Structure 1
Amino acid sequence: MSLKMLTHFQVFDSQRFFSGKKFLLLKLEPWQEGTDREHLRTIGTKVTGVIAVDETQYTKDLKGVNEGETVTFKVRKSLTSFNNWQPLQTVFVAVAFDRVSIWGDYHNQLSVRVPELKEIEN
């Protein structure tokens, strides 16, 4: 994942950045945390999606620059909560955020925790 134009959101405006974005589900996996393999506990689900639609206005003339990039959302819900979600078929949006932070050597990565993701009609 190598997102672009994140510096325009340094005081990160999650609502503005994620509005106008639709994600296509790539994969679901357990979200686990712990000090080592023997002490891992499942916290929820990691949902990875590719930005299928990016209508976010980044600058006056720049729009849609993150289409095709991936984002992984950490959701405090079990994998079974996503039983009806199918890779490369389910389209979803993020509407509420617990924590979003920019990281990486080039400040082009996101760490995203959300209470839920909303499936939408294709």
Structure 2
Amino acid sequence: MKYLNQFSVFDLDKFLNGKKLVVTGCAPLKDNDTGKVLGTRVSTVIFADNTEYRHKDGETGSNRFEKLNIKVSKIISVPENAVVIPVNAVGTIYGEFRNQLSIKAEDIRIVQPPKQ
């Protein structure tokens, strides 16, 4: 992803402001060592990104269509194509170039169910 370093003391609420997250799937969140189910991994895509970023001279861009996995600490089911917001979530930037984002949340709130 781009521009994550602008949120070094990472303010997930500020980063998600102006974005629309659409669910692409759910899967069990498992402990890598034991295989025990710890919760749910909700896969989303940033469908809309209206965040104003500080760009370098002449550069443009956004995080539209970037994928975000949200690790929820309980077993839930969220329908595909629902628009969601993570509840009581914390974001952590990681990676060699500080361009990866890990999100952990207590729950997922559906703000717009999928269209039938």
Which category describes the TM-score, using the shorter chain as reference length?
A: 0.7 to 0.9
Choose which of 31, 34, 44 in structure 2 pairs with 1:33.
31
For the structure 1 residues 21 and 95, does the alpha-carbon distance in structure 2 shift closer, same or farther, using more than 3 Å as the test?
Answer: farther
- Matched AA of 1:114: A
From 49, 58, 64, give the equivalent of 1:54.
49
Q: 4+ residue runs of structure 1 moved beyond 3 angstroms? A: 60-64
Name the SS of the counterpart of 2:15 in structure 1: helix
- The reply to whether residue 42 of structure 1 matches residue 40 of structure 2 is no
Q: Quick check: 1:118 aligned with 2:115?
A: no
Could you tell which deviates more after superposition, 110-119 or 59-68?
A: 59-68
Question: 95, 99, 105: which one pairs with 2:96?
Answer: 105
- The amino acid of 2:46's aligned partner reads I
Identical columns (%): 30
TM-score after normalising by structure 1: 0.80
- Check whether the contact 1:15–1:95 (CA below 8 A) recurs between aligned residues: no
Aligned to 1:69: 66
Tell me which residue corresponds to 1:90.
82
Q: How many residues align?
A: 111
Cα offsets for 1:42-86 (capped at 9, x unmatched)? 1100001000111222228988700100000000121xx31xx33
Q: Tell me which protein shows more helix as a share of its residues.
A: 1
Gaps of 5+ in 2: none
Query: What SS class does the counterpart of residue 28 from structure 1 fall into?
Result: strand
Q: Cα RMSD over matched residues?
A: 2.2
